[in-house]
Each structure stands twice: as structure tokens, then as C-alpha cells.
Structure 1
Amino acid sequence: MEHRRSCSDFMFLGLILLLCFFGSVESYKNYTVGDSFGWFDNTMNPDINYQKWVTNKDFTLGDFLIFNTDNNHSIVQTYNFSTYKECDYDDAEDKDTVQWSASDPSNTETHDVSVAVPLVKEGVTYFFSSDYDGDQCKNGQHFKINVTYGQGLPKSLKDSSDSTSPISSPVSGGEDSAPDTIVPSNFSHPKENSDDDDDDHENASDDKAKEKSSSVSMLMYAQVHNIFYGSLIFIGLVLFS
């Protein structure tokens, strides 16, 4: 009986080690900045605290930040703390600061704006709105995050990691809030830019097919992982009951 119990214990420990080997399933994520509050200063949303919004979130390479705002607010990303502290884009250096969206103080009609910002560099990254002499930034429209390696950059972002071209689209919404998500769920893997020639078009199609296959494989792996994990729990209850 003791020998049988020892074998059972050994098998259970082996299954636990196997589970640790497989590890957890990860995926790229889209984070809507401020959730339903969107990207605005405290004069419009007094209750918003973007640094509090960052709490308990894990940002990794390949993730996207989705900014839902309007054309009276800007979106600036920088790796320079001095630029962030001064809330000033005008004196920033191009190599470490990107203005993804600029406000238009002379506009006669306000419309919604949505911008997707990819996280392509590890370390501390700062975001703020620099318009109206930095007043929006000083009124709470700023935050910083720490980006870790995670799974690393997907292929669609590796080739454009040095690019500063924004990805944006207009959205509709109420005055007090913005939609939680206005991009497709697979937006973490945007299509790559391609030339007009047939070869590049064919390569883009192949890449798209590979990404689709990879997504299906990841889903299947997640399902198997969950079934395997549930089986381990059941076996453990049976063996040690």
C-alpha cells in the first residue's frame, strides 16, 4: 500500500512539474486609457486619475494603448522625464518624443478622436497632453508606465519599431464618456504596410495567413492548458482524499 501511495505521489509531482514547464498562456493586450472616462483633463472629468488607472496593470512589448479623446486634446509619448515634467512638447527632441495627436485650438467644432499607440520599447514611458501651454497636462492629463519584455514585439511591429506614424480613427460617442474599445480585438497585430507590386502583396497575404494560424494555435493551446490544469486538480483530490 505504501509503495502504491509513493508511486501515486510521484506521478502527481510529475504532473505538477509538467504544468510548470508549460507555464501560463499570454497574449498581447489592448488597454483603453481611462476606460470609459477617456483621455481628458480634470476640468472635463474631475474624478479621473490616470496614474491610479495604471495600478495593477502589466504593460508589455506589443500591447496597445487606446486613447479615446477629442480634437481639443493632444497625445504625446516621451521617454524623456524632463519633457514629461515640463509638460512641453515644443522643446522635445524627435528621437525620444512623439506627438501622436495634436489639438486644434482654432477649431469651430469638436469631434471625437481615437488613437492606438503601440508599446515598442522596454522601460519607463511617459504620456501627457501638452496643449494650451501645458495646462491640460498640469490638470491631470498625464501618466507613466513601465513596459516589460513579455513575449517581445510581434513581427508586425518589429519592422516599424522606430516608426513614429500614428494609427488613428474617428469615433462617435457622448460628451461625458468614450467607448471602452473602438478597435478590433486583434488590433495587437496590425497589418504591415506593403508596396503595390505583386511580390509584396503576396508576402503580406502569407504573413496574414501565418498570423491567423498562430492565433488559432494559441487558442487551441489555451483550451488544452485549461483542460490539463483541471485534470491535475481532480487527480490531486482523488489521490490525497
Structure 2
Amino acid sequence: MADHRFSLSLIVLLMVAMAFLKGAIAADYEVGDDYGWDVPPSNSSEYYPSWANRYEFKVGDSAVFNWTGNHTAAHVTNQADYDNCNTNATEITLYAEAGVRVPFTTEGFHYFICTVGTHCEQGIQCYSCR
């Protein structure tokens, strides 16, 4: 009888541990899903924020930027630089190769823009990636 209770307790403990681990597993999110990182349909500045709002990003998750053609994914540090498509932001991390995986190492909003020509103004920007 004691062995049965021990086994049952061990199973319950393992189930609780698995539930905690499931929430701790990091995920990769392809920005724009199958559409990728490109000038959105109708140059919509809401395309990527709408995409991002479908997900709940956590520290440890990553945004994966895939594109064809001439684009970049630049991580700007504040909303003002994002809103103004400031490609000369003093603190900017620029990723110039498609397929780049950008991990979220801090909580809060993360702002991404394309720095090529007028692409940012045409809607290649994502601020809800948090």
C-alpha cells in the first residue's frame, strides 16, 4: 500500500513538473508567417502589428525574419524611432541577412523596421513583437 501511494505521488509530481516545463519552452515565430518580411499588401502599416497581436511572446522566444529581395530587419530601441522610421537611430541592431533569428532577452516591446529605402514607411515595421 505504501509503494502504491509513493508511485501515485511520483506520477503527480511528474505531471506538475511537465506542466511547468511546457510553459518554459521557447518558441520561434516567423514574422509574417508564410508571407515573410516584405512590403505588406496595400502598404498597410497595420499588417505586422496585427500579425504580432495574434501571439503572446515571452522572454526566450525568437522572431525569425525571412525575406527575398532587398530588405533588412533593424531592431530600434524606442517607439519614437519606430514611429518615425528612424534608420539612423543611435542604438540600432541591424540584421542584413534573411533567416535571422532574433531572441527576446528582455520583457516589453521590441521595435523592428526595414531600413531599405522607404520600406518602413510602406509598412515593413513591427512593434508588437514583445
**Fold agreement, TM-score > 0.5:** yes
Q: TM-score, normalised by structure 1?
A: 0.42
Residue ranges of structure 2 left out of the alignment (5+ in a row): 1-11
Residue ranges of structure 1 left out of the alignment (5+ in a row): 1-17, 103-112, 148-241
Paired residue for 1:120?
Answer: 105
Residue 93 of structure 1 pairs with residue 93 of structure 2: no
Q: Could you say which structure has the larger radius of gyration?
A: 1
Q: 1:140 aligns with which of 115, 123, 126?
A: 123
Q: Is the 8 A contact 1:122 1:146 kept in 2?
A: no
Paired residue for 1:75?
Answer: 73
Structure 2 counterpart of 1:34, one-letter code: G
Q: TM-score, normalised by structure 2?
A: 0.74
Paired residue for 1:28?
Answer: 26
Structure 1 counterpart of 2:90, one-letter code: E
Shift of 1:57: 0.6
CA distance in 2, matches of 1:39, 1:84: 16
Q: Is the 8 A contact 1:79 1:124 kept in 2?
A: no
Structure 1 counterpart of 2:66, one-letter code: N
Write out the 4+ residue segments of structure 1 that deviate beyond 4 Å after TM superposition. Answer: none
Offset from partner CA, 1:3-49 (integer Å, 9 cap, x none): xxxxxxxxxxxxxxx79x9245221000000011010013xx44871
CA distance in 2, matches of 1:144, 1:47: 16
What does 1:161-200 align with in structure 2 at a 5 Å threshold?
none
Structure whose residues are more often helix by fraction? 1
Secondary structure of the corresponding residue to residue 66 of structure 1: strand
Secondary structure of the corresponding residue to residue 59 of structure 1: coil
Q: Percent identity?
A: 26
Paired residue for 1:50?
Answer: 48
User: What is the CA RMSD across the aligned residues, in angstroms?
Assistant: 2.4
Between 1 and 2, higher relative CO (CA 8 Å, sep ≥ 6) is seen in 2
Q: 2:64 aligns with which of 63, 66, 79?
A: 66
CA distance in 1, matches of 2:69, 2:96: 8
CA distance in 2, matches of 1:123, 1:33: 17
